[in-house]
Amino acid sequence: MLINAQDWALSKKKMKQRANTATPFLQTTSSFSQGVGKSNILSRFTRNEFCLESKSTIGVEFATRTLQVEGKTVKAQIWDTAGQERYRAVTSAYYRGAVGALLVYDITKRQTFDNVQRWLRELRDHADSNIVIIMAGNKSDLNHLRAVPTEDAQLLAEKESLAFLETSALEALNVEKAFQTILLDVYQIISKKALAQEAANSTGLPKGTIINVANPSGNVNKSHVVLISKILI
């Protein structure tokens, strides 16, 4: 599901207004639990920023980043969903149409890890069956306060067939890797679907039909931008 033009314009205006304030408006929520540093992971990936005094996400926020994936320019839309219970009806509606998700828990708070399976069930109930999901244990810089052993997370990831890593939004550890992994998997799925559709269409063409794969100017399009929307965090 893509955001419509009116919502996009309104969100851009709000984001610009927030960017002009003295204190960056960087929210903090979870996996999708509250207070695990989701919003700082998002700001680290999209703007290379971190805010120690971040606030909880209200409803849904989103950001974009354009990067290279397998030689193609990819524009990703990442949606930061609120972790509070009162926003569950809002955030669950945004599961539909999602192609990727980063399930984040706080390694210093056991309850956020225990909540992962509940959020995972909700995600799988509402999202597409092909959605790419990665579980991330955030705040690895606070290892001295660890309440979730890495081994416990690895066992859960194996049980649920999830990719897993530990991140630190503060130290920018594995944040880039987490999103790159999701984007690469999503891009490959999209590419396979496109090739399958192209093959299916070509089988119905009359014998001797010439297929023009060039743009109107006669040159192959080398500047195609792939839009991946949306990735939940």
CATH code at position 75: 3.40.50.300
Whether 214 is covered by a domain: the verdict is no
Specify the pLDDT at position 19.
38
Three-state DSSP at 87 gives helix
Work out the angle at residue 223's Cα, subtended by the Cα atoms of residues 219 and 229, and round it to the nearest 5 degrees.
135
Specify the pLDDT at position 126.
84
* Residue 196: CB atoms within 10 Å: 10
Whether 32 is covered by a domain: the verdict is no
Specify the pLDDT at position 119.
86
Residue 53 predicted with pLDDT over 50: yes
Structure tokens at 109: 């708070």
Q: Among positive and negative, which fits the CA dihedral 20, 23, 26, 27?
A: negative
Question: pLDDT tens digits for 168-225?
Answer: 999 999 999 999 999 999 989 888 887 787 777 766 655 554 444 333 343 333 345 6
**C-alpha closest to that of 232 among 104, 51, 56:** 104
Which residue in the block uniquely carries the two structure tokens 């851009």? 12
Q: What average pLDDT does the chain have?
A: 75
Question: pLDDT tens digits for 17-43?
Answer: 433 433 222 222 234 566 788 889 999
Specify the pLDDT at position 140.
98
Structural domain of 167: 38-198+226-232
* Number of folded domains that form the chain: 1
**C-alpha closest to that of 54 among 41, 70, 71, 67:** 41
Mean pLDDT on 65-80: 88
Question: DSSP labels for 164-178?
Answer: EEE-BTTTTBSHHHH
Whether 208 is covered by a domain: the verdict is no
Question: DSSP labels for 66-86?
Answer: EEEETTEEEEEEEEEE--SGG
CA distance 233 to 102: 5
Mean pLDDT on 142-153: 98
pLDDT band for position 226 (cuts 50, 70, 90): low
Residue 110 predicted with pLDDT over 90: yes
Answer whether 60's CB lies under 8 Å from 94's CB.
yes
Three-state DSSP at 135 gives strand
Specify the pLDDT at position 86.
52
Answer whether 142's CB lies under 8 Å from 107's CB.
yes
Whether 11 is covered by a domain: the verdict is no
